[in-house]
Amino acid sequence: MGYINLALRMAREAGGLIKDYVDGDFKVEEKSSKADLVTEVDQKSESFIRNRIHEYYPEHKIIGEEGVAGGEDVNAVAESDDYIWIIDPIDGTTNFVHGLPGYTISLALSYKKQVILGVIYDPNLDEMFWAEKGKGAFLNNNRLTVSENDDLEGCVLATGYPSDVKGDRAKVINTINTLGPVCGNIRTFGSAALHLAYVAAGRMEGFWEQGLNVWDVAAGYLLVNEAGGTATAITGETYNLTTRGLVASNGHIHKNLVESINVND
Ligand code: IPD
Ligand code: CA
C-alpha cells in the first residue's frame, strides 16, 4: 500500500478505535502534571498505528507521543535522513477525557528531514484533512486553500494552553492580551492539529502556540503550506522537526502575527 493510502486508512481506523471508548471506562494517568494527561486509549491507538506501520514498512522509524517515554530521542530521530512516521494517537486528550469533541489523530511522514505527507482526522465530524508535499491539501476529496483575509481586525485566530503553566502557557496568555484587542476573535478548540487543519481549510486565518511537539504539528505544518499558507517557528525562522513554538497563517497576516507574539518574548 502506498504511504498516503496507508496513512488515511490508519487514521480512520484509529478514529473508530478511539470512538468505541467514548462513553466507557478507560484509565487516565497524569504525565508531567494534572494538565498533561494520557489515557489507555491514547496508548492503544498508538500501538495500533505502530503495528500497522511495522506490517507494511518495517524498516521505517517511528516517533509517537506515547512511545517517547519508551526512550525514543526525538531530536536524534529528527536529524536522521530516513523515513520517519510521526504519530499523535490523540491530539486533544483533555477533550477526549472530558467527553468533548475536538480531538484528532495526526500522522506525518518525513524523509530527509522534510515532511512529505500529513493526515489529520477528526473522527467526530468524519473530516479527513490530508496533504502530500507538492500535491496540495485536501479535506476529504476537496482541495483546500487558505483564507484571503489580510485585515487582522476581521481575522479569527487560534491558540492552545500548553501544560507548562508558568512558562509556555504564560507566554500564550501574554500574546492573547496583545492580539485579543486587535483581531476579530480567538478560539481554543483544544487540538493544535485541528487548529492547523482549520487554517489550511480557510476556516481561520492564523494559529500560534509555544511548547508544542513534533507530533502535534508536523502534519498540520504541511497542510498549511500545501494550502498556500505559511508556517514558521515563533521567531519567524524556518520550521524544522525540532521546532517547539509554531506560527501558522494564511500568509497575509504572518509578519503581523510574528511581530505581535515576539513583542512579549
Ligand atoms: C495538546 C493539544 C493542545 C495543546 C497542547 C498539546 P495532546 O496535545 O494539541 O491543543 O494546547 O499544548 O499538548 O497532549 O492532547 O496530544
Ligand atoms: Ca496526544
Q: Tell me what the mean pLDDT of segment 27-36 comes to.
A: 87
CB-ligand 1 contact for 168 (6 Å cutoff): no
Query: 167 with 211: CB under 8 angstroms?
Result: yes
Q: What would the grid cell of residue 86 be?
A: 510521526
Question: What ligand has the least distance to the C-alpha of 211?
Answer: 1
Percent of the chain past pLDDT 90, that is, above it, reads: 88
Fold observed for domain 152-262? D-Maltodextrin-Binding Protein; domain 2 (3.40.190)
Is beta strand 142-143 parallel, antiparallel or unpaired with respect to 230-233? unpaired
Q: What is the DSSP letter of 165?
A: I
Query: What pLDDT does 69 receive?
Result: 58
| Contact between 62 and 50 (Cβ < 8 Å) | yes
Nearest-CA residue for atom 5 of ligand 1: 162
- Overall size of the chain counted in residues: 265
State in Å: Cα 46 to ligand 2 middle: 9
Looking at residue 32, what DSSP letter applies?
S
* pTM for the whole structure: 0.96
Choosing from 86, 90, 120, 253, the catalytic residue is 90
pLDDT of 67 reads 83
Mutate to test the pocket of ligand 1, among 188, 212, 243 (most ligand atoms within 8 A of CB): 212
Catalytic entry in 65, 122, 209, 226: 65
pLDDT at 65 over 80: yes
Comparing CA positions, the residue from 188, 198, 195, 99 lying closest to residue 147 is 198
What DSSP designation does 256 have? H
Q: Is any ligand 1 atom within 6 A of the Cβ of residue 191?
A: yes
Ligand 1 proximity of 39 Cβ (cutoff 6 Å): no
Q: What is the residue extent of each domain of the chain?
A: 3-143, 152-262
- CATH topology for 3-143 is Fructose-1,6-Bisphosphatase; Chain A, domain 1 (3.30.540)
194 alpha carbon, closest ligand: 1
pLDDT tens-digit series, residues 176-211: 999 999 999 999 999 999 999 999 999 999 999 999
